Every structure is written in structure tokens, then in C-alpha cells.
């Protein structure tokens, strides 16, 4: 479904401060599965998602999504096929617009439109039904500006918007890290329900080992741009992951 072939990426190239993140990196992601990407800071997790999403460009290699080579696609061109939710609850939404306007924008993804014709009256009931799945009461706040929502509500809305057009791939970049534990649990449960309902292929970065195991089908641990663990989530325990994680942090120190 997603094939990454011989991917290489360095920052500050050809300088004394050159930082090589990936060098000939290979990875295949299975369709309709959720893959958790874990590992210590600086291991390449966010860089990997940025390379796939197109916010940064690879030095070498190929990124193939559903048989389509997207290596040279710009970020907005990839956005037609890839949904993304960021760590900051405000990045995936337009805070100054209403919930309804945000939903309409997400619905127009990949299409040409004008703000004047953004909202079609026939679609309002559809948006309301989609929001009902969150069970957060947002379907009754369609005309509320997003900046007045809580972080959890904004992140849940961002998640719905990213999945709304049933993308080929959903990227979750530590999307619960900025939330309190209770809200994080709610958003993670909504994430799982949404992924399963629409059978969306998902890559999820997480520092929470428990979440990584409970809400994914596969665990991949990175260290210095290399895969050091690749197992089915049911075949690994939280304690095993924490032990490996701590050993890597001790080696860095």
C-alpha cells in the first residue's frame, strides 16, 4: 500500500553540522492497518511523516502510495491522498472559522471552490451526522468558531476533517501529546473507532507505549533512522517496549 524505497535525508548537507537522518531507508505499510511509530527523540519519527506528507523533500529514494509514485509531488498535491493530524490542536483547523466552515473546507479538499460557495445547504445534515460519531455535542455547535472549543474538541474535529474524504493514508503526529490524560484517552478511542469504521491505513507517532500497543496493529521502533523493532502489537508488551526505549536513552546519555 505504502512503499518507501531507499529513502535518504540529511539536514545541513555538506556542512560541518550535517545531520543524516535516513540513509537507504526501506519500509512497507500494509493496507487498512494502523502502524505505530515509536522511538526516542531525534530517531526520525516526525521526519519520516514529513517526508511522506511532503512538507520536506527526500534527498534520494521513492515514496509510492497505492502504486502511485508521489516522491516529487508537492505537499498540497499529496494532501489529496493523505490526511494528517498534528500535535498542536490548532494546526489542523482554522480557529477563526466556525465548525461548519471548517467541515466544508475539509469536504472541498482537492477541489476548486470560492469562499462564497463554500457551504452547500444540502451538506449541513451530512456534517451533523459525521460529528455525531464523536459524541462530543459538536453537531449542535456548527456555528461556533473553533477558537472557542477545548483542545480535545479541536483535535477531535481535526481528526474528523482529516478522515472525512477517506484518504489513502492518515498520518497522526503525536496527536494526543498536547492533551491532558483524560482527554487524550477520549481522542485515542475516537481515533480507533474512526480508523476501523472507514478502514483507513494509518501511521501514528506516539510516545505512549500503552496507546501504541492498544490502538495499533503493528509497532515499529526507530533509532537513528533505522528500524530496530518491527512486531505485531499483540506480540509485544508495554514493559518490553519501555525497556528497549530506556536502553536507547541511556546509550544517548
- Who contacts 237 (Cβ-Cβ below 8 Å, separation ≥6)? 213
* Calpha distance 107→41 (Å, rounded): 35
Q: 3-state DSSP call for residue 156?
A: helix
Q: How many residues does the chain have?
A: 253
Q: 59: closest CA among 71, 45, 73, 75?
A: 71
- pTM (two decimals): 0.92
The answer to whether residue 128 sits within a structural domain is no
List the CATH number of the domain containing 195.
Answer: 3.40.50.300
The answer to whether residue 100 sits within a structural domain is no
**Which of 67-76, 106-115, 147-156 has the weakest average pLDDT?**
106-115
* Calpha distance 129→38 (Å, rounded): 34
The answer to whether residue 237 sits within a structural domain is yes
Tens-place pLDDT, residues 146-170: 999 998 899 999 999 999 889 999 9
| Contact indicator for 205, 49 with CB cutoff of 8 Å | yes
Q: 159: closest CA among 92, 91, 76, 87?
A: 92
The answer to whether residue 108 sits within a structural domain is no
| Contact indicator for 189, 30 with CB cutoff of 8 Å | no
Domains held by the chain: number: 1
Most confident of 21-30, 118-127, 128-137: 21-30
Residues spanned by the domain of 61 = 2-90+150-252
The answer to whether residue 202 sits within a structural domain is yes
Amino acid at each position: 500500500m505504502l512503499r518507501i524505497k531507499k529513502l535518504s535525508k540529511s539536514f545541513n548537507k555538506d556542512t560541518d553540522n550535517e545531520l543524516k537522518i535516513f540513509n537507504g531507508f526501506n519500509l512497507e505499510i500494509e493496507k487498512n492497518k494502523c502502524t505505530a511509530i515509536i522511538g526516542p527523540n531525534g530517531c526520525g519519527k516526525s521526519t519520516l511523516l514529513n517526508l511522506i506528507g511532503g512538507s520536506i523533500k527526500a534527498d534520494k529514494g521513492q515514496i509510492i502510495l497505492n502504486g502511485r509514485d508521489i516522491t516529487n509531488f508537492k505537499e498540497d498535491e499529496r494532501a489529496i491522498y493523505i490526511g494528517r493530524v498534528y500535535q498542536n490542536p490548532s494546526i489542523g483547523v482554522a480557529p477563526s472559522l466556525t465548525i461548519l466552515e471548517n467541515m466544508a473546507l475539509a469536504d472541498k479538499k482537492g477541489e476548486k471552490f470560492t469562499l462564497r460557495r463554500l457551504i452547500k445547504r444540502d451538506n449541513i445534515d451530512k456534517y451533523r451526522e459525521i460529528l455525531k460519531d464523536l459524541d462530543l455535542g459538536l453537531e449542535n455547535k456548527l456555528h461556533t468558531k473553533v477558537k472557542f472549543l477545548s483542545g480535545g474538541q479541536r483535535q477531535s474535529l481535526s481528526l474528523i476533517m482529516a478522515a472525512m474524504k477517506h484518504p489513502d493514508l492518515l498520518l497522526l503526529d503525536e496527536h494526543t501529546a498536547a492533551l491532558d490524560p483524560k482527554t487524550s484517552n477520549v481522542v485515542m478511542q475516537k481515533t480507533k473507532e474512526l480508523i476501523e469504521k472507514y478502514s483507513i491505513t494509518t501511521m501514528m507517532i506516539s510516545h505512549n507505549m500503552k496507546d501504541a500497543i492498544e490502538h495499533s496493529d503493528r509497532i515499529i521502533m526507530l533509532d537513528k533512522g533505522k528500524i530496530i523493532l518491527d512486531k505485531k502489537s499483540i506480540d509485544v508488551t508495554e514493559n518490553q517496549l519501555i525497556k528497549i526505549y530506556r536502553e536507547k536513552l541511556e546509550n544517548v546519555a
